[in-house]
Amino acid sequence: MTAIIEARNLSRWYGNVLGISEINLEINPGITALLGPNGAGKSTFMKILTGQLKANIGEARIFGEKVWNNRRIFSRLGFCPEDDAFYEDLSGLEFLSGLLSLYGFSQAESRQKASQALDLVELADVADRQVRSYSRGMRQRIKIAQAIAHDPEVLILDEPLSGLDPLSKRRIIKLIKEFKNAGKTIVISSHILPEVEALTSEIVLIHQGKIIARGDIYFIRDLIDTHPHMIRIKSAQYRQLATTMAGEDYLLKMAFEPEDQAVVFETHDRDRFFNRLNELLLSSPLAIDEITSPDDNLQAVFDYLVGK
């Protein structure tokens, strides 16, 4: 089966700054997630797929056709950008209706489809309010609405869950899964692994403009779990805590920070570490003031994976 989306040796730079480098990827119907820290190149890749940027090297194809300057396929795509781009004085309904008219729909059709899209993202009750009055979560949902309003076959969603409260996230995740079940091809980006896990098992890891891994969630979890975790604990009894934890086979090293009454543990098995810590807290008078993970972010994980 021919892939719906094909990227062949895609590279794009901005002056001396590399956006993406030698991206080769095939994407089939279903949900594919691009996971990577901010600045990894996810948005650049998506803008090339939607014809907003031209690759310096390589080409992108959708439905077997080159994307760049190809108006035939644009009506078959829906794009939700990471950044806001609104006509703030228009109402939500006017904003969507205006965009739909650009696809050639009549005024009546545009209003009908706009109303349907607003209803899907649960903005029907504020359809007549100016966009400038929308909250951050509402603005995010209307970006999703404009991406889906014309019923495209391919959805490119850049950080679609950003700025949403937990309830709205669950509803949008459910909506995206419904589009998947309808046979659409969906590409989403995120820098938050739990969001991606809730949507799909097909994940592409991107770092510094390059694909460093692709696989299901179990493969990606195994990769990420190889990353040593740093756990910083503040406690007036930090030396006693360190002595008690010392010798465990999942501990790589410890370091004291006497000025803050803290100890920093490095472990390759965070689950076992916290299980042991919980046991200690339940069975002893140890008191902990604060627990933080200084490197608990995708940037640290990706730096580790690239350096392996």
Q: Are residues 279 and 157 in the same domain?
A: no
The secondary structure of 206-266 as a DSSP string is EETTEEEEEE-HHHHHHHHHTSPEEEEEE-TTHHHHHHHHTT-TTEEEEEEEGGGTEEEEE
Among candidate residues 176, 199, 223, the one where a domain is terminated: 223
Full domain range(s) for residue 64: 5-223
Residue that is last in its domain, among 205, 223, 241 = 223
Q: Is the pLDDT of residue 182 over 80?
A: yes
CATH code for position 241: 3.30.70.100
Claim to verify: residue 215 and residue 75 sit in the same structural domain: yes
**Does residue 49 sit in the same domain as residue 132?**
yes
Report the C-alpha gap between 93 and 90 in whole angstroms.
8
Q: What integer pLDDT is reported at residue 302 of this predicted model?
A: 67
- Within this chain, do residues 41 and 159 fall inside the same structural domain, yes or no? yes
Relative to beta strand 210-215, strand 229-234 is: unpaired
Tell me which of 170, 199, 223 is where a domain ends.
Answer: 223
Whole-angstrom Cα distance, residue 45 to residue 25?
Answer: 11
User: Which CATH number goes with the domain that contains 45?
Assistant: 3.40.50.300
The pLDDT value given to residue 300: 63
Question: What are the pLDDT digits (tens) for 98-110?
Answer: 999 999 999 999 9
164 in the same domain as 37:
yes
| DSSP-assigned letter for residue 161 | T
Q: Does residue 87 surpass a pLDDT of 80?
A: yes
Per mean pLDDT, which range of 116-120, 182-186, 262-266 is the poorest?
A: 262-266
Q: Are residues 96 and 142 in the same domain?
A: yes
Domain total for the chain? 2
pLDDT, tens digit, 9 for 90 and up, residues 126-151: 999 999 999 999 999 999 999 999 99
> Do 92 and 47 fall within a single domain?
yes
Same-domain check for residues 83 and 124? yes
